[in-house]
């Protein structure tokens, strides 16, 4: 059995850690560019962290202009802002959009490489600037992945995948996630569950370390997501969600995602459906589609989430698929494409786009054609 496994070298998991961010990052940088979005600033989430940077004598620049599914032009503006500040390090503070933007800034701030030149696998030349990431959603796991997802100028979701995108440090403070509104808690938490499931069934790079992480992640996430939605201030549930999302991130960084993500991306590009919600919409149909082929693995995951079936593996797999759909429904997220503005006539275009995302589809346990994509979208219209 051959495999390799990478993750970030240092993880600080400490509720309240953001308030001592200055002390944590000062050995690594003196003039950081702090990267976030308006929602995070308006929720007052970053105030304590900025104060602590000041108290530690750090001369920071705040870039607060990140947009969801970060568009290339916003990323370029952020790189320019960091250069103008003469930043010697980057702090990504927010959801996946802010962290993904921060990762790319750290790679490009000191080079002449363009953003377009690093789209794809292992295209980043040279070392990056020091990079510290703090998630405020319990979802993407971007704080521990080597991936950044950017929306290109021609509206394609482009992955930048390179070892330089592993941060120097991830700081996980569950208190930062308590202000997420219910629909964001739900969607980002479902995204994390999809990471765990797709890593566990990943066709090419499935490995024992990712498996162990994915199982523990799915156990934590499935047991806490509904409670985190219903009791948003319960910090224990928030910690379990944040830990689960990070473990799932470590799993899928080494055993990549598959068809749920491939089908979700066009919904984000064409209809600005948030990433987690797009995944949630496509989860049940893809699980049903994969169920026969992936039944032995789905049966194992059914045991992990306590789906409760003790029959043969096909029955246990079906219970797993049903239980996942039940958990998603209980969070209150939408379950049909028509609820997010998608109409029948665009489905062929969505299917055409999804079928092109070979880097994800090749990891799916069952081969997926363009016709399959169309059938899967139609099923949840
Ligand atoms: N790099 C990776 O490994 C990876 C993996 C999966 C997804 N992604 C990408 O990450 C992005 C999605 O990230 P996301 O789901 O975390 O959402 P996001 O970063 O786009 O944030 C969603 C919204 O939630 C708000 N928000 C974030 N934290 C909050 C908090 N604690 N309280 C209140 N509001 C808060 C933000 O302001 C924003 O309006 C997509 O671009 C997706 O493609 C990256
Ligand atoms: Fe995702």
Q: What is the mean pLDDT of the chain?
A: 97
Fold of 10-177: Rossmann fold (3.40.50)
The predicted structure's pLDDT at residue 308: 83
* 10-177 matches 182-379 in fold: no
Model confidence at 1, pLDDT cuts 50, 70, 90, reads confident
Average pLDDT of span 223-244: 98
Q: Is 176 in the pocket of ligand 1 (CB under 6 A)?
A: yes
3 state DSSP class of 154: coil
129, pLDDT greater than 90: yes
Q: What is the CATH number of domain 182-379?
A: 1.20.1090.10
The predicted structure's pLDDT at residue 156: 87
309, pLDDT greater than 80: no
CA dist 93 and 45 (Å) reads 9
pTM for this entry: 0.97
* C-alpha 95 to ligand 1 mean position (Å): 3
CA dist 50 and 66 (Å) reads 17
Atom of ligand 1 nearest to the CA of 188: 15
- For the CA of 268, the nearest ligand: 1
Nearest CA to ligand 1 atom 2: 142
Q: Is 254 in the pocket of ligand 1 (CB under 6 A)?
A: no
Atom of ligand 1 nearest to the CA of 151: 41
124, pLDDT greater than 80: yes
Atom of ligand 1 nearest to the CA of 180: 32
At 33-90, the pLDDT tens digits run: 999 999 999 999 999 999 999 999 999 999 999 999 999 999 999 999 999 999 999 9
Q: Can you give the residue ranges of every domain in the chain?
A: 10-177, 182-379
**How, if at all, do strands 10-13 and 61-66 pair?**
unpaired
Retrieve residue 39's tokens: 């929602």
- For the CA of 192, the nearest ligand: 2
Are the C-beta atoms of residues 289 and 373 closer than 8 Å to each other? no
- For the CA of 258, the nearest ligand: 2
Retrieve residue 105's tokens: 């800034």
At 342-366, the pLDDT tens digits run: 999 999 999 999 999 999 999 999 9
113, pLDDT greater than 80: yes
Q: What burial class does residue 127 get, using C-beta atoms within 10 Å of its C-beta: 0-12 exposed, 13-18 middle, 19+ buried?
A: exposed
Q: Is 22 in the pocket of ligand 1 (CB under 6 A)?
A: no
Q: Residues 6 or more apart from 222 whose CB is under 8 A from it?
A: 193, 304, 305, 306, 324, 327
Average pLDDT of span 142-163: 94
Q: Is 46 in the pocket of ligand 1 (CB under 6 A)?
A: no
162: left (phi over 0), alpha (psi -120 to 50) or beta: beta
| Pocket-testing residue among 39, 156, 196, 260, ligand 1, by greatest number of atoms within 8 A of Cβ | 39
Are the C-beta atoms of residues 17 and 171 closer than 8 Å to each other? yes
Q: Is 161 in the pocket of ligand 1 (CB under 6 A)?
A: no
Average pLDDT of span 252-279: 96
């Amino acid at each position: 059995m051959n495999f390799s496994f990478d993750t970030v070298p240092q993880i600080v998991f400490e509720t309240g850690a953001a308030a001592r961010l200055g002390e944590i990052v000062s050995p690594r940088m003196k003039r950081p560019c702090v990267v976030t979005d308006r929602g995070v600033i308006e929720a007052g989430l970053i105030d304590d962290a900025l104060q602590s940077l000041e108290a530690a004598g750090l001369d920071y620049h705040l870039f607060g202009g990140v947009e969801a599914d970060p568009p290339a032009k916003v990323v370029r503006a952020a790189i320019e802002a960091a250069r103008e500040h003469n930043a010697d390090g980057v702090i990504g503070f927010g959801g996946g959009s802010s962290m993904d933007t921060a990762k790319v800034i750290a790679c490009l701030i000191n080079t002449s490489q363009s953003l377009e030149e690093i789209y794809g696998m292992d295209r980043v030349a040279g070392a990056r600037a020091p990079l510290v990431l703090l998630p405020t959603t319990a979802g993407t796991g971007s704080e521990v992945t080597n991936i950044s997802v950017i929306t290109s100028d021609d509206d394609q979701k482009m992955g930048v995948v390179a070892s330089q995108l592993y941060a120097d440090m991830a700081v996980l403070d569950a208190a930062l996630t308590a202000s997420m509104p219910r629909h964001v808690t739900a969607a980002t938490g479902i995204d994390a569950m999809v990471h765990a499931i797709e890593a566990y069934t990943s066709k090419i790079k499935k490995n024992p370390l990712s498996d162990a992480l994915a199982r523990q992640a799915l156990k934590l996430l499935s047991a806490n997501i509904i409670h985190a939605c219903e009791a948003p201030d319960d910090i224990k549930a928030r910690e379990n969600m944040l830990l689960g999302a990070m473990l799932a991130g470590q799993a899928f960084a080494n055993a990549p995602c598959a068809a749920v993500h491939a089908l979700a991306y066009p919904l984000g590009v064409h209809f600005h459906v948030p990433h987690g919600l797009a995944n949630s919409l496509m989860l049940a149909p893809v699980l049903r589609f994969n169920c026969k082929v992936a039944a032995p693995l789905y049966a194992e995951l059914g045991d992990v989430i306590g789906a409760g079936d003790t029959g043969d593996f096909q029955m246990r797999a079906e219970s797993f698929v049903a239980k996942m759909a039940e958990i998603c429904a209980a969070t209150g997220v939408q379950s049909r494409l028509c609820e997010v503005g998608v109409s029948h006539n665009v489905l062929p275009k969505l299917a055409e786009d999804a079928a092109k995302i070979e880097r994800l589809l090749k990891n799916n346990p069952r081969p997926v054609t363009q016709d399959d994509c169309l059938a899967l979208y139609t099923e949840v219209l």
